[in-house]
Amino acid sequence: MDRMRFLLICAVLPLSLIACSQKVTEPERAPATFKAPATIAEPAADVHFHTKNFVQEGIRLSEVIPILDSAKVKRAAVFGIPLQQNWDMSTGVKPGYYLHDDQELYYYSAVDAFLALEFQELSEAQKPRLDPMIVGFNPTDGRATDHIRNMLLRFPGVFSGIGEFSIEKEVVSSKVAGRNANINDPALDNILRFAAETGLVVLLHCDVDAIISGNENQPTYFQELSELFARHPETTIVWAHSGLGRFVKARPEHTKLVAQLLKKSRNLFIDISWDVVLNQLLDGEGVLLPEWKEFLMENSQRVLFGTDVVAPKSADYAQLVGRYHGLFQQLPEAAAENIRIGNYQSIFDSARRKIRAWEMANS
């Protein structure tokens, strides 16, 4: 792990958000200040739902269903987190979150088998509402596709995609044990080619910019991302948060740059998940910023709703979904429906058919 990089990042981040040597009190998804959530009138589909956290604790899939019901969410892509926070007992600190200290994160492949077993325990009425995703692989490993293939063939009829997995992620990447993943890694290309072959939807987290960017002309990783997406035109990729994050903020030209990528890559989509990213789309009164309203209206068929919750409680989940409904109400009805549920259904229904056919042909 690049400890010096982690400590440098800590040094420049607000002290209220992160402490490098002692446990922080900030929750994993800190609630933002906002007005009461809008009424949840229409069903939605959540493309970004974590059932486990960074110490592999959380909720079972049977618990996810009533949480979805609390917010009228009809379907969800569900997955754990591919990384486990190491616990070095000699330090006297038992970390529960990756910002708690500088201990390493390592890949935890068992997360996928546990998820599949939980899915198999669901009723036949519950299963169609969930799209389990494979996450427990190291994207720097040329054998990552072996793990993905094994999960598909060992648990046929279960998985719909891979991810959310991360390549460049603020703070996290520098903590991962071993070689850091990067956009030009041949192992990543191998994973994306295999996803195209099988029909798996890819949910990819890759920051568009560095926290401290040395590039004034465009976001740090924009060009490499553009080239990556162009290399894989047949792979359905959902780019999480359009590359934004807790500390990675949108530049003034962000929506125009994202629109360029969507125009060049026909199977590229973005999600607008994560409350700290949602805050970048809205002003202090919850009104969509003009550039985002224009972008969402013009690209509504390429955007998916998601929450990026981590093992939530029903009340917290319904409140966050309500905030997104406040956003949807500011868009034309057709655009709102595309983002809220239509695009999800189209993408994942198609993926299910392709993956089941691949499983049958390779069993």
Q: Which two tokens stand for residue 56?
A: 């592999």
Domains, the chain, with CATH or none: 3-362 (3.20.20.140)
What is the rounded CA–CA span in Å between residue 323 and residue 342?
19
For 70, list phi and psi in degrees, rounded to 5: -65, -20
What is the CA angle 51-57-60, rounded to 5?
Answer: 45
Return all residues near 290 (Cβ < 8 A) that are at least 6 apart.
none
What is the rounded CA–CA span in Å between residue 78 and residue 82?
13
Other beta carbons within 10 Å of 212: 10
pLDDT of residue 64: 98
* CA distance between the termini of the chain: 39
Pinpoint the alpha helices (H) of 155-237. 186-198, 222-231
- What is the DSSP code (8-state) at residue 185? -
Per-residue model confidence as pLDDT tens for the chain (363 residues)? 444 444 444 444 443 343 333 323 333 333 444 455 677 889 999 999 999 998 899 999 999 999 999 999 999 999 999 998 888 888 877 877 666 667 888 899 999 999 999 999 999 999 999 999 999 999 999 999 999 999 999 999 999 999 999 998 877 777 787 888 899 999 999 999 999 999 999 999 999 999 888 778 899 999 999 999 999 999 999 999 999 999 999 999 999 999 999 999 999 999 999 999 999 999 999 999 999 999 999 999 999 999 999 999 999 999 999 999 999 999 999 999 999 999 999 999 999 999 999 999 999
pLDDT of residue 35: 53
What is the rounded CA–CA span in Å between residue 154 and residue 152?
6
Q: Which two tokens stand for residue 351?
A: 């993926």
pTM: 0.89
DSSP for 46-64 reads: EEEEESB-TTS-B--HHHH
Q: Which of 77, 70, 56, 113 is nearest to 317 (CA)?
A: 70
pLDDT of residue 31: 40
